[in-house]
Structure 1
Amino acid sequence: MTEDTPIVVTGLNHWFGTGEARKQALFDINLIVKRGSLTVLMGPSGSGKTTVLTLMGCLRDVQDGSVNLLGHELNGAGRALNESLRRRLGFIFQAHNLHGSLTALQNVLMGLQVHGLPNRQAQQDAARHALRLVGLADRMDYLPANLSGGQKQRVAVARALVGNPDVIFADEPTAALDSGSGLTVVTMLKRLGETRGTTTVMVTHDNRILEMADRIVTLEDGRIVRDSAS
């Protein structure tokens, strides 16, 4: 693995359940993700794409095979290493998971809790900058109930970006958005790759954004069946 390949997946297999109910979900997944790229994982429900995403993002333990993330092997990694790596990652989910009692600014500040910035002013400055990046400079003090669906998702994007992560993992980030808002979110992630070298791996069913992807990997029944980089 080099600085230009922040994610290398080799011979990855995964199972769910135990005993007679144990079922294999992933079969020999091999994937190299380049720095600054926007990689899209596609496939029908149950194809394994979200499982791959969560294994790469330290959200699930690697059972068999290798996942090398930012120079660290995740198979056998302990809790301390996983927590350390998560500080270098950003996560965006279909459900924006905003706290309803907190303003947009306060929700983004929550994304900085694991980063340990030296003082509260530095945290405030970083959170405000992230919200300006996503076009919400005039909505910082709004509660989620007073934001549109697209604005809520942009707050979630700002929360993911605020720690300046090396890699962003996004699971269906545009599913609940109209075409304009979805395009805005993906354009933002694409720009981050070009300007900061931020790597994005995205699970989506959204055909509207495929032309923006640097690479499209299609899974079916736990196997990679197509890869536009091949």
Structure 2
Amino acid sequence: MVEDNPINVAGLNHFFGVGEARKQALGDIDLSIERGSLTILMGPSGSGKTTLLTLMGCLREVQDGSIKLLGQELHGAHEAQMVMLRRRLGFIFQAHNLHESLTAAQNVLMGLQVHGPGNAAKQLSATIHMLDILGLADRVDYLPGNLSGGQKQRVAVARALVSNPEVIFADEPTAALDREAGLNVVKMLKAMGRTRRTTTVMVTHDNRILELADRIISMEEGRIVGDTRSSPTGKPTP
């Protein structure tokens, strides 16, 4: 465990259900994730990767073991502490979760407004800039119902990134995107790691983006069974 790392997990176990229906979802997870890295969690359905992601992202309560996120212990943390931490994070999910009554720009603005009141002009400028980067400059005033599935997902990505979060948690962020759009999103996350030291943890089944990862964690039946890091050439190494 390295204290400077934004995420340190030690002896983590997690269960679903009670009594005879109780099932272990994660077992004995130890993991440290370096600042600025792009780490991918892979494994078959039911392997525990999304459960681990949501625990690290303050979206589930830690039952047993330790997770330190940005220096804060999550096991036993109060809801107010969790809320403050979530404001330092970005979330991208396969389901875009856009508000259907708000335009693309208004949906992205929500990613800034959760941090409290700010300079409205600067917030709008940052919003338009992020949508432009993602190829949506001509869709800022469109409602989600008038956007394609891939465009909706790019709006969701813009919403997650516009506040410059310290850590980004992404669950199948490229599933609704074509190859080029998916690669562009992941390249942006990779660039944020280099320039802003933003840390990204991503669950994916998308083999098209694996070569961009700094690290690939493989999971099966709630346990880590593989851990590979990219070499200077970008190729995975054990």
TM-score (norm 1): 0.95
- Give runs of aligned pairs for residues 3-82 of structure 1, distance below 5 A: 3=4, 5-82=5-82
Q: Which runs of 5+ in 1 are unaligned?
A: none
TM-superposed CA distance for 1:109, in Å, is 1.0
CA distance in 1, matches of 2:34, 2:119: 34
What letter is aligned with 1:19?
Answer: G
Question: Which is worse superposed, 100-109 or 135-144?
Answer: 135-144
Partner of 2:99: 99
TM-superposed CA distance for 1:154, in Å, is 1.1
TM-superposed CA distance for 1:160, in Å, is 0.1
What letter is aligned with 1:123?
Answer: Q
Aligned residue for 1:66, secondary structure, equals strand
| Cα shift readout 1:142-185 (whole Å, capped 9, x = no counterpart) | 12222222221111111001111000000011112221221121
TM-score (norm 2): 0.92
| Cα shift readout 1:179-228 (whole Å, capped 9, x = no counterpart) | 12211211111111111111100000111110110000000000000000
| Cα shift readout 1:122-151 (whole Å, capped 9, x = no counterpart) | 322222222223222222111222222222
Question: Which is worse superposed, 110-119 or 80-89?
Answer: 110-119
Does 1:194 pair with 2:203?
Answer: no
CA distance in 2, matches of 1:53, 1:206: 17
CA distance in 1, matches of 2:154, 2:176: 12
CA distance in 1, matches of 2:176, 2:130: 21
Alignment coverage as a number of residue pairs:
229
Question: Which is worse superposed, 174-183 or 12-21?
Answer: 174-183
CA distance in 2, matches of 1:44, 1:102: 36
CA distance in 2, matches of 1:177, 1:131: 16
Aligned residue for 2:10, secondary structure, equals strand
What letter is aligned with 1:87?
Answer: R
Q: Is the 8 A contact 1:103 1:140 kept in 2?
A: yes
Aligned residue for 1:186, secondary structure, equals helix
What letter is aligned with 2:155?
Answer: V
Partner of 2:176: 176
Does 1:210 pair with 2:202?
Answer: no
Q: Is the 8 A contact 1:117 1:123 kept in 2?
A: no
Q: Is the 8 A contact 1:134 1:188 kept in 2?
A: no
Identity between Structure 1 and Structure 2 (%): 72
| Cα shift readout 1:39-76 (whole Å, capped 9, x = no counterpart) | 00000000000000000000000001110000000000
Q: Which runs of 5+ in 2 are unaligned?
A: 230-237
